[in-house]
Amino acid sequence: MDTTYYQTVRDLEQKGVNPEYIQGWMGGYLHNPKREEQRVNDAYEAGYADGQAGGTDGSSSWMGNA
């Protein structure tokens, strides 16, 4: 596992980003399959897309949204 993964997750947690976004980001970054349909939400989808792209551009939209 590269340090980018750990640093990014730590930074997102410290900023107070929605945990669902973080879970999505982790899955997308690691190229894991998406969750099953009934467990997916908007925050997860945004995080997954950003994770696949290797960035966190959309994370600011999910700060403080638990």
Q: Look at residue 15 and tell me if it is in a domain.
A: yes
Helix, strand, coil percentages in the chain from 3-state DSSP, rounded to 5: 65, 5, 30
Q: Look at residue 32 and tell me if it is in a domain.
A: yes
d(CA 63, CA 33): 24
Q: Look at residue 65 and tell me if it is in a domain.
A: no
What is the structure's pLDDT at 65?
Answer: 55
pLDDT at residue 1 is higher than 80: no
How many domains does the chain divide into? 1
Domain that holds residue 43: 3-57
pLDDT digits (tens, 9 = 90+) for 48-66: 999 999 999 999 999 975 5
3-state DSSP assignment of residue 17:
strand
Q: Look at residue 64 and tell me if it is in a domain.
A: no
Extract the tokens encoding 31: 């190229």
| pTM, entire model | 0.91
